[in-house]
C-alpha cells in the first residue's frame, strides 16, 4: 500500500511542473495533498481528478490560500472535511477518508513564519488539535495522518538547527508538542520506523540555493497509530523533479 503526502504550494503550479505526469507512474493507493491554493471550481480539468481515484478537495474560503485534498483508489465509506474548529475549517486544513479498517487524512497545520498573528493562530491550532488526536486514539482504528506539520521535531530534522531555535517551526514548545503526540499519545513517525537516524528533508527555502545545496527542513510527516508501525516497509523523499518548495514523501506499507 503506497501512501504519498505532498505540499503542492499550489496544485495548479505543481501540475504545470509535471506533478501529475509523475504521479501516474507511482501506482499510489492514497495521495494526500496540502496547500492546494485553489477553489473547487478552478479544478474541473480532468488532470485534477486522476482516473481510477476518488478525489476530494477541501478549499479555504479565502481564494488562493491553504486547502487540502485526498485521492484514493478505494472509495471511502465516509468523507470528513471539517475538524469542528471553525477558525481552521474555514481555512480548508483537513480531510479524512474513512474505511472500516483504516482512516487516511490530509492535514495542513498553520505556519507561524508570517508573523506573530500567524504564530498565535498556530498555537491555537496545536492546543485544539491535540485533544482531537487523543480522542481518536480511543477508537482503536488504524490511522495514517499525512501532512505538512510545519514543525521540525529533532535537530536531525533540519540542516541549520542551531540558528533556528528561536524561529517558528523549531521552537522548543512546538517540538515538545510533537513529543506529546509521539510519547504520550503513542503515535509513530512512520519515516523514522525505517530511517531512524537519516538526515533527510522535505522542504527547502527559496533563498540561498537551499534546494540545490540540500539545506532543508523535515516538516512533512506520515504520523500513524502504533498498530501500523510494523507494516512500514520503506520511506523516501522524491527529489528527482521539483514540483514545489516541498518534495513528496512516499511510504510503502504492507497491505
Task: Enumerate the active-site residues.
Answer: 148
Q: How far apart are CA 49 and CA 122, in angstroms?
A: 31
Q: How far apart are CA 100 and CA 184, in angstroms?
A: 26
Helix (H, G, I), strand (E, B) or coil at 89: helix
**Phi and psi angles of residue 80, each rounded to the nearest 5 degrees, phi first:** -115, 130
Q: How far apart are CA 71 and CA 80, in angstroms?
A: 14
| 227 DSSP assignment | G
CB 96 within 8 A of CB 105: yes
**Nearest residue to 209 (alpha-carbon basis) of 134, 159, 143:** 159
Q: How many residues does the chain have?
A: 255
Cell of 237: 523523499
Sign of the CA dihedral with 89 first, then 94, 98, and 102 last:
negative
Place of cell 480522542: 135
Q: How far apart are CA 255 and CA 252, in angstroms?
A: 9
Cell of 5: 503526502
Amino acid at each position: 500500500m503506497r501512501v504519498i503526502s505532498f505540499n503542492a504550494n499550489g496544485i495548479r503550479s505543481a501540475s504545470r511542473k509535471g506533478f501529475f505526469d509523475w504521479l501516474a507512474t507511482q501506482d499510489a493507493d492514497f495521495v494526500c495533498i496540502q496547500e492546494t491554493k485553489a477553489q473547487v471550481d478552478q479544478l474541473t480539468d480532468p488532470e485534477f481528478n486522476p482516473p481510477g481515484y476518488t478525489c476530494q478537495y477541501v478549499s479555504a474560503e479565502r481564494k488562493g490560500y491553504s486547502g487540502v485534498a485526498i485521492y484514493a483508489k478505494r472509495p471511502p465509506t465516509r468523507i470528513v472535511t471539517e475538524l469542528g474548529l471553525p477558525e481552521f475549517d474555514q481555512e480548508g486544513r483537513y480531510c479524512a477518508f474513512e474505511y472500516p479498517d483504516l482512516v487516511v487524512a490530509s492535514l495542513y497545520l498553520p505556519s507561524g513564519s508570517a508573523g506573530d498573528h500567524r504564530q498565535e493562530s498556530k498555537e491555537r491550532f496545536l492546543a485544539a488539535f491535540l485533544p482531537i488526536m487523543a480522542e481518536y486514539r480511543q477508537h482503536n482504528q488504524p490511522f495514517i495522518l499525512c501532512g505538512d506539520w510545519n514543525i521540525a521535531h529533532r535537530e536531525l530534522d533540519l540542516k541549520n538547527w542551531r540558528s533556528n531555535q528561536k524561529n517558528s517551526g523549531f521552537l522548543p514548545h512546538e517540538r515538545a508538542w510533537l513529543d506529546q503526540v509521539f510519547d504520550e499519545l503513542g503515535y509513530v513517525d512512520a519515516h523514522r520506523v525505517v530511517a531512524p537516524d537519516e538526515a533527510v528533508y522535505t522542504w527547502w527555502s527559496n533563498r540561498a540555493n537551499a534546494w540545490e545545496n540540500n539545506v532543508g527542513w523535515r516538516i512533512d510527516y506520515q504520523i500513524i497509530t502504533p498498530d501500523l508501525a510494523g507494516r512500514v516497509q520503506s520511506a523516501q523523499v522524491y527529489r528527482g523533479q521539483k514540483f514545489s518548495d516541498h518534495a513528496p514523501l512516499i511510504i510503502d506499507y504492507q497491505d
